[in-house]
Amino acid sequence: MSIPPAASKVVIHVAAGIVNDTKGRVLIAKRPEAAHQGGLWEFPGGKLESGESVEQGLRRELAEELGIQVCVSRPLIRLSHDYRDRRVLLDIHQVLDYQGIPQGREGQPLEWLTPEEMDADRFPAADRPVISALRLPSRYLITGAAPAAPDAFLMHLEQRLARTGVPIVQLRAPWLDTDRYADLARRCAALCRRMGALLLVNCEVELATRLPVDGLHLSEQRLLALDQRPDLGRCLIGASCHDADTLARAATLGLDYALLSPVCPTRSHPESEPLGWKRFAELVDPAPLPVYALGGVGDPDLQIAWRHGAQGVAGISGFWSRSS
């Protein structure tokens, strides 16, 4: 039987929910062997019925499958995936409040796992970016201009982490030469570990392999120079993107996230034309990876960012300056 080309396939619109327990673990369910992607584990949910909104479908599916009542949810990530035999559009929502105790009401086995425990090979292929989204926080700090002396820089970083509680930091210091950057990165890594935050470096891939850090952030230029995902073990890898082509490139390389900028006018890049939220959403919608909004945004923009498909907000001015 020949497989129809993707464009002619019906798109199956699915709502699925991220349900947490009090320890922050996520509920997953095993798909029946005979179903599409049978035997794999999924985030509970199912196909929308005609005329249903995503929220309505999510409430109905989680009541039917788990016996819980969803009270509050928010969008986490939206993905389109082509399985050759069908195309699915997954609207994954984070359930923020629910009533009841989840049970496998259709006889499906359930498990609670932390995002770090999830093995992407046990889930349908479309779910890979969902697992990345679960491992990443909503707020992302980028270091900015700071006192030149490393001690003062570290003290500032410690204060910002304590004040904002942001759990992920990108060390951006393009004005430092390689040796100075490497020294600072080692000291920042120790500080971040002590403060319970992840440290990503923004440097050449080769240098990142020699540093004790949690991930690598690629500039757009470094992203475009790569033809495959750098081999950095379990490290997170993300990239700066400014348009649809670079977002597609980041997704093709299997990166864990992208930063898309500038969304709003920003003091750090006054020459750049802002995208605005409408264009941001248009660019994020087809991108199959978590995308942070960057540029003139901070904590107060989190809700609007989620409504426009973002993983969350990233910023220099929003989190690094003393006023934030």
Ligand X SMILES: Nc1nc2c([nH]c(=O)n2[C@@H]2O[C@H](COP(=O)(O)OP(=O)(O)OP(=O)(O)O)[C@@H](O)[C@H]2O)c(=O)[nH]1
Q: How far apart are CA 147 and CA 175, in angstroms?
A: 12
On whether 204 is known to bind a ligand per the annotation, the reply is: no
Of how many residues is the chain composed? 324
Could you say which of 6, 11, 24, 35 contacts ligand X (CB under 6 A)? Answer: 35
Interface of this chain with ligand X, residues 108 to 167, rule: CB under 6 A: 124, 126-127
Interface of this chain with ligand X, residues 215 to 254, rule: CB under 6 A: none
Is residue 47 a contact point for ligand X (CB under 6 A)?
yes
Nearer to ligand X, 90 or 259 (CB): 90
Q: How far apart are CA 316 and CA 100, in angstroms?
A: 41
On whether 31 is known to bind a ligand per the annotation, the reply is: yes
Where in the chain does DSSP place strands (E)? 11-18, 26-30, 41-42, 45-47, 69-82, 87-99, 110-113, 139-142, 168-171, 198-201, 215-218, 236-241, 257-260, 291-294, 312-315
Q: Which two tokens stand for residue 84?
A: 């050759």
Is residue 88 a contact point for ligand X (CB under 6 A)?
yes
Is residue 214 a contact point for ligand X (CB under 6 A)?
no
Is residue 208 a contact point for ligand X (CB under 6 A)?
no
On whether 116 is known to bind a ligand per the annotation, the reply is: no
Stretch that binds ligand X, among 39-47, 164-172, 217-225, 290-298 (CB under 6 A): 39-47
On whether 24 is known to bind a ligand per the annotation, the reply is: no
**DSSP string covering 100-118, please?**
S----TTS--EEEE-GGG-
Nearer to ligand X, 127 or 301 (CB): 127
Q: Is the C-alpha dihedral spanning 91, 94, 95, 101 positive or negative?
A: positive
Is residue 12 a contact point for ligand X (CB under 6 A)?
yes
Stretch that binds ligand X, among 36-44, 190-198, 262-270, 276-284 (CB under 6 A): 36-44
The distance from CA 186 to its chain's CA centroid, rounded to whole angstroms, is 25
On whether 33 is known to bind a ligand per the annotation, the reply is: no
On whether 36 is known to bind a ligand per the annotation, the reply is: yes
**Contact criterion met (CB below 8 Å) for 143 and 173:** yes
Binding residues: 31, 36, 42-45, 65
Q: Which residues bind ligand X (CB under 6 A)?
A: 12, 14, 16, 35-37, 42-43, 45-47, 88, 90, 124, 126-127
